[in-house]
Amino acid sequence: MIMFNFSKFLLKACDEINSIKDYVELDSLRIKYLGKNSFLNFQFKEMIKLDKQDRIKLGSILNRVKNSLLKIISRRKSKLDYLFCKNDLFLKNKIDISLPGRQIRNGSLHPINIIINLSKIFFSSLGFSYVFGPEIEDYYHNFDALNIPYGHPSRSKKDTFWFNNKYLLRTQTSSVQIRFMKKTSPPIRFISLGRVYRNDCDRLHTPMFHQIEGVMVDKNISISNLKWIIINFLRALFINKKYYIRFRPSYFPFTEPSIEVDIKINNSKWLEILGCGMIHTNVLSNVNIDSNIYSGFAFGIGVERLTMLYYNIKDLRVLFENDIRFLKQFK
């Protein structure tokens, strides 16, 4: 075995490392002496050519040299750290660690998300699954398949955000029921939740709002089933409030008969919160469901309206202004 003078090698490395003035040069020397292409690493690889006794002897020497180099580099780094802390620029910009830190406050859910989560919990307990659909919709799924005639006001450019003659921002989550029912056979029970868009803005309306669409299709489904679900949903949501509900007849192209549901809390005015009804036979035909065998109902709930009632908010627009003073009230 040809022995290399490792003591001389270590002394040279020590002098070179201790003369370093910055971190970049120190890292370059670390790679030079301990990197994968270093002389020391090459010696480790060459040990395989030696017999057992020489391998043990050389391995012991190489490990001592390696550990010594690591200690020398570590000490030099500590020295550089000390010199850096004495630097005038560092002292000028140093941070007083005795100062109290900035308090990070816990955030909270947006009130709309709170109502959405409460709604999901209720409908999940009744076996409703959760589905979703695109917000950019075509006129067939948003209007035609839902039995909405060509001259209906909701198709006008004044009320609806159109991209072109075919595509628009959906005006209701009812379009999802068409997409879902086309590929699913009864029994069907689901809710669809998401943003919808209408060209309207005042104290009780915004151009974008959230809707919960609920659908149930099966044999012998009646309007009594629909009323039971709506009554118990509102009872679960407003369990700690004194409220009144009224069902009144209405008209929607996609349901027959159609109902609107209003609610009044304490002595406030009646406020419409949802529309519902038995799914029109034309809609069932459009999704290839035999209306002679199956019947079903659908409802569309305005989430923002429920949020206003739940938290006694008078103006819908404050829900979208992102005022932290308003939002931090909700837990």
Per 3-state DSSP, the chain is made up of helix, strand and coil in percentages (nearest 5) of 45, 20, 35
* Residues of the binding site for Mg(2+): 256
Interior CA angle at 328 toward 325 and 210, to 5°? 100
Do 117 and 109 form a contact (C-beta atoms < 8 A)?
yes
* Residues of the binding site: 256
Q: H or E segment at 112?
A: helix 111-125
The amino acid sitting at 141 is: H
b (16+ CB within 10 A) / e for 112-149: bebbbeebeebbeeeebeebebeeebbbebbbebbbbe
Interior CA angle at 222 toward 216 and 223, to 5°? 95
CA–CA separation, 82 and 247 (whole Å): 79
Nearest to 71 by CA among 25, 28, 22, 33: 33
Q: H or E segment at 236?
A: helix 223-237
Place of tokens 């932290």: 324
Q: H or E segment at 56?
A: helix 52-85
CA distance to 9, 44, 51, 65, 290, per residue, from 5 (Å):
6, 15, 20, 11, 95
Rg over alpha carbons for the chain, rounded to the nearest Å, is: 36
Do 301 and 119 form a contact (C-beta atoms < 8 A)?
yes
